[in-house]
Amino acid sequence: MALATRPATEADLPLLARMNKHLIEDEGSRNPMSFDQLAERMRGWLLGDWGVKLFLAGEAIVGYAVYQLRRDEYFPEQTIVYLRQLFVERERRSRGLGAEAVALLVREHFPSGCTVVIDALASNPRGAAFWQKVGFAPYCATMHLRPR
């Protein structure tokens, strides 16, 4: 079944916060935000200049994406898309839905020919493998020196 999208609304905030919490757990993020904090952050994105799309397989919501259009740092006449979050429900993974979701975003929601930028946490090798499988290539590595 082909995926479709619809814009997320404030009524979707509990669902988005739950999925975001699962994303944080799955990627090994050190983000300590509570469910309520995640919902409030998502509300800010919904009301701001972020795109928040839900992915639907039939009537079922199977994931979401959060992205923002930006100007390229070195070529400001060019638009880039910062894809901050892409999530597919755990029980729906490994069926091609993530790749289909990326293709759908690029085809229907992102400006034609633009560069798409993501962050892939080093703590999530499965996620990095997914991103490379759908065509992303490493550009830089952000490193942290933590206090001992």
- Does a structural domain hold residue 39? yes
Q: Most distant CA pair in the chain: distance in Å?
A: 50
Average pLDDT over residues 11-31: 96
Answer yes or no: is pLDDT of 96 > 80: yes
What is the count of structural domains for the chain? 1
Average pLDDT over residues 74-92: 96
- Does a structural domain hold residue 53? yes
Q: Which pLDDT score, from 0 to 100, does residue 133 have?
A: 96
| Structural domain for 123, as ranges | 3-133
pLDDT classification of 94: cutoffs 50, 70, 90: confident
Average pLDDT over residues 62-66: 98
Answer yes or no: is pLDDT of 1 > 70: no
**Between vectors from CA 101 to CA 23 and to CA 131, what angle results, nearest 5°?**
65
State pTM to two decimals: 0.93
- Does a structural domain hold residue 90? yes
- Does a structural domain hold residue 140? no
- Does a structural domain hold residue 22? yes
CB 19 within 8 A of CB 101: no
Helix then strand then coil, in percent of the chain rounded to 5, is 35, 25, 40
- Does a structural domain hold residue 147? no
- Does a structural domain hold residue 129? yes
- Does a structural domain hold residue 146? no
Q: Which CATH number belongs to the domain containing residue 89 in this structure?
A: 3.40.630.30
